Chain A
Amino acid sequence: MNPVFDYHALAPELILTATIVVVLVADFFFGERERFQTSRLATIGVLAALVPILTLAADGTTRTMFGGAYVVDDYALALKGFFLLVAYITLLVSVDYIGEGDYYQGEYYFLLLSSVLGMVVMASARDLISIFVALELISVPTYVLAGWRKHDTKSNEAAIKYYLFGVLSSAVMLYGMSFIFGLSGSTLLSKIGQYAARPDLPPLFAVAIFLTLVGFAFKISAVPFHFWAPDTYEGAPTPVTAFLSVASKAGGFVAILSLIYFGFFGTKEAWQPVLWALAAASMTLGNLTALRQTNIVRMLAYSSIAQGGFILAPLAVAADGNAGRSAFEAVVIYLLIYGAMNLGAFAVVIAVARRTRSGEISSYSGLGQTAPVLALLMSAFLFALAGIPPLAGWFAKFVMFRAIFEAGTASAYTLGVIAAVNSVIALFYYAGVARRMWFRDPSESGVEALPASTPPALGIALGLSAAVVVVIGVYPQLFARIGEVAFPG
């Protein structure tokens, strides 16, 4: 049977691929001074790829290709749109950072877009092999990007650590996937789903699921597989860190979501306890470690580990009670809101570092006096991450708790209590940065502020994230609706 190509359905991927090629080739033709033009090409490509997403969403039919291995439905479209928007904001925060430092430019955008292509493919992947290919496409370019500051030993360490952990996790994951294929006889998630619903499953199947999930746990830096994340985040160029902590992490979550809902849903005994433990450990350890950080990027790294725990929590109870639908929605909505909050926070970190050349939290002292707008935005993003209404984070937490309540089991409630306690602990370090910014004197920052203005691209990125954080906080229906539509069942 010849594969049928639905060009409309594949248009986003095709546009991105074309852009990747154009960016790489165009880089040869630009002089040293025009190199920044590559970023414009990349931005145009990303925005162009959003157009078919909209036309496909308007069309509304589910398009299935390659025997069910590649599906373009509302779920895939919602996340593809999310990934492309995240890519757009990452491009905006990268332009000046990459342009001003002594970095290769064409290759940077080439690698970044390749990773985005992987995410866009991941949203549609419904087959173990395409999931694996998508995940490697997401990861491999970021190994290189993490080491982009090649004269900085921290950046080298970041890249090597990230690479070694990434490869190890891929190996573990593949090992698990091979068992799944061996047992179920198929790599298609739909077939695996039928197999998983059988009553008499061999214990090996549970082992296979465990290994696969452990592989993904590395990717989403869930405790206890998180060790690479803080070092990598700190060493990598900050725009890359923002991208890793939002986009690449979301890629991992989407894979887990697809695997569970389309594949493993029937055997909850095998995956729920694993996810439960990962969620509880990530929330608690991530938060407690974040409390002790003195570097803002490391703090955000641990905070994103904790946030990852919050995203996992609804999945950990997804097959209990009536939680199926609301857990799915909770993960999608949380990812959307988390993307805006975290990208915004990193954008502020980049903007502040332009002035202070420092990543220490102490250097934020008195920012409310020296740069009130940045301080205001940072406070908004941090309190959003803490889940304080009326900023968007509260709704993310709310849908998480809703899913936990719908599950209604004792273990679900326990997880709910752990999550509630953790959201109070988390406030302490988020508010700690706000305290430095507003309650302290600039003289305590210990750095000489340079008279650097915030470039327009970075300003747009900040404005967009802040708009999402405020508007969704007051009128969450917009994202709630996306979550509702995305549910495939």
Chain B
Amino acid sequence: MDWFDSWGVTLAVFLPAAGMVVVLAIPKAQERALKVTTLATTLATLAVGIAMLARFDYDRTGVLQFQVNKSWIDVINSRYHMGVDGISLPLLLMTMLITVMCVIYTWDHFPDPRTPKAFLALILLLETGMNGTFCAQDLILFFIFFELVLLPMFFMIGVWGGPNREYASIKFFLFTLFGSALMLLSFLALFFLSDPQTFDIPRLAAQGGGGIVASTQNLIFVGMFLGFAIKVPMFPFHTWLPDAHTEAPTVGSVLLAAVLLKLGTYGFIRIALPILPQAAHDWAPWIGLLAVIGIIYGALCCLAQRDMKRLIAFSSVAHMGFVMLGIATLTNFGINAAIFGMVAHGLITGMLFFIAGSVQERYDTREISRLGGLLVQAPRLGWILGFCAMASLGLPGLAGFWGEFPAVLSAYDPAAGISQVTFRVYMVVAAVGTVLAAGYLLWMFQRVAFGTVKTEFEGAHVHDVHWPEWIAWTPLLIGIVVLGIYPNLIFRITDGAVTNLAHGMATAIG
């Protein structure tokens, strides 16, 4: 299995791309062959992920495993350096799982216009981009994968989206591109200021910003911050998100919420914090501030929404606020919570968007006020919605709790040198946010699921959960429960890597 150690990551990243080429070669009339190829590719990719999980050395989670380091663009000193450690492994696996479930979910529900070939090809291309981002260990490589997800998502929203899709797709594209242009400039600046000059993430992290003047560090950090914060998205850069989510087809929303947002937070943990610890330290209170504003603002917006998908989209802003608060503490505890929160949010919000899609398919509307009595007409769907709403609001025993609660708690005691008072205020505000979350989620559940069926849908025949939905949802639901009961499954993987990171930052700051 030696070959797997050196080829595993490459397989995980490029299998979907290879599958995409095959899909493009199959004539579009052969719908079945297209679906089977896509499913087989994503399953094979997931199998690679599981094999990586099996061969992963859990005693050394802080060390890059399955490393590849080959020459790529020598002229600019950028290398094909890929690898997986405890921070990226859970996210990588979550991505692979969600992608498979998306393919299964679309099996019989292709959004209009029904062109499965293009749609499936885009899902596969998207997977290459997402997996690649979590594995890249070179800034330029990271940038390429980070950007690779833009085009497929742009087309997914624009071609298969709702009535306002053109506006939403270009808004998404322009916002993210603006951020990544600044991010690229920051990467270049880092390259020229590092000594010896390199784009290699572990080597840059080892330098820890040494030799770069504090004011310059801060400027470079701002560039990266904008790139990542727009992707997360943090308040006030979040305005593209509700539009993109509302207009995107179900699978697009799921992938967007479950994975694409994580690329931003992952960028903070993988790149911004370890490479520029001093600047991260200086900016931490401000990041924390934006994070808690996001928590409260997202929650208040949720209370005002009438559209189910828009509500879930704003709840993402709030939840990602908790993740960012955890990151902003710069502590071992906070960052572990943040990574857990990313995985939990991926599973839970992914599920919520699936359900919203299924509701829309059945009732042809997502208008909360027009819905009601879901539990009467489709009890299983209703209860799954209830379950996910509970998970999302952070009910202990389900996955959401372990993302939210430790993140709030970590703000009690931020890293040395960061104002405790400020963060304790943030903690209180964030705690209020959890109450609001319970409010808007339960209220939504109540309006959609309880009560009697509205007159307009009284006679309508509403199908309860279909078999593709069962297959697609069961693993995610099991994941939510298992991670809720035994969170150590993830903490055990992340902890070593995060301890290294926090330790490295503490030493660099001195």
Contacts and interface: CB of A to CB of B under 8 A. Distances in A.
B72 A477 contact: yes
Nearest to A417: B185
Name the residue in B72, B143, B148, B185 with the highest tally of chain A Cβ atoms < 10 Å from its Cβ: B185
Contacts of A68: none
Contacts of B72: 475, 477
A412 to B, nearest CB: 12
B144 A389 contact: yes
A69 to B, nearest CB: 31
A416 interface: yes
Given A388-B147, A389-B143, A483-B75, A416 B185 contact: yes
Interface string A397-436: 0110110011010000000100010011001100100010
B144 A420 contact: no
B188 interface: yes
Contact of B73 (A389, A401, A480): A480
Interface string A428-460: 100100010011000000000000000000000
B57 interface: no
A172 B75 CA distance: 39
Contact of B151 (A329, A388, A398, A481): A388
A365 B86 CA distance: 47
Given A383-B151, A388-B150, A439-B158, A477 B74 contact: yes
A198 B291 CA distance: 59
B174 A401 contact: no
A394 B147 contact: yes
B170 interface: yes
Nearest to A406: B192
B224 to A, nearest CB: 14
Contact of B148 (A389, A416, A477): A389
A484 interface: yes
Interface string B71-82: 111111000000
Interface residues of B, number: 33
Nearest to A408: B192
Contacts of B375: none
A438 B158 contact: yes
A394 B73 contact: no
B144 A435 contact: no
Interface stretch (B175-183, B277-285, B359-367, B431-439): B175-183
B159 interface: yes
Given A389-B143, A389-B148, A394-B147, A480 B177 contact: no
Question: Looking at chain A's contact residues, is the secondary structure mostly helix, strand, loop, or mixed?
Answer: helix
B165 interface: yes
B225 interface: no
Contacts of B191: 405
A273 B456 CA distance: 70
B173 interface: yes
A420 B73 contact: no
A359 interface: no
Interface string A158-200: 0000000000000000000000000000000000000000000
A99 interface: no
Nearest to A395: B73
B465 interface: no
Contacts of A401: 184-185, 188
Given A388-B150, A401-B188, A402-B188, A427 B173 contact: yes
A365 to B, nearest CB: 12
A390 interface: yes
Nearest to A474: B144
B76 A398 contact: yes
Interface string A229-240: 000000000000
Nearest to B159: A438
Given A424-B177, A424-B178, A431 B154 contact: yes
B307 interface: no
A130 to B, nearest CB: 31
A398 B75 contact: no
Given A394-B144, A398-B76, A424 B174 contact: yes
Interface in A247-278: none
Nearest to B140: A398
Contacts of A423: 177, 181
A476 interface: yes
A439 B148 contact: no
Interface string B144-169: 10011011001100110000011001
Nearest to B173: A431
Contacts of A399: 76
B76 A424 contact: no
Given A394-B144, A398-B184, A477 B189 contact: no
Contacts of B173: 427, 431
Interface in B5-46: none
Given A428-B174, A439-B159, A439-B166, A420 B182 contact: yes
Contacts of B169: 435, 439
Nearest to A481: B75
A385 B184 CA distance: 17
Contacts of B75: 329, 477, 480-481, 483-484
Contacts of A424: 174, 177-178, 181
A439 B165 contact: yes
A420 B192 CA distance: 18
14 contacts: A329-B75, A368-B159, A390-B147, A390-B148, A398-B140, A399-B76, A401-B184, A408-B192, A428-B174, A438-B159, A477-B71, A477-B72, A477-B74, A480-B74
Interface of B: 71-76, 140, 143-144, 147-148, 150-151, 154-155, 158-159, 165-166, 169-170, 173-174, 177-178, 181-182, 184-185, 188-189, 191-192
Interface of A: 329, 368, 383, 388-390, 394-395, 398-399, 401-402, 405-406, 408, 416, 420, 423-424, 427-428, 431, 435, 438-439, 475-477, 480-481, 483-484
A-B pairs with the 3 shortest C-beta distances? A480-B75, A389-B147, A389-B144
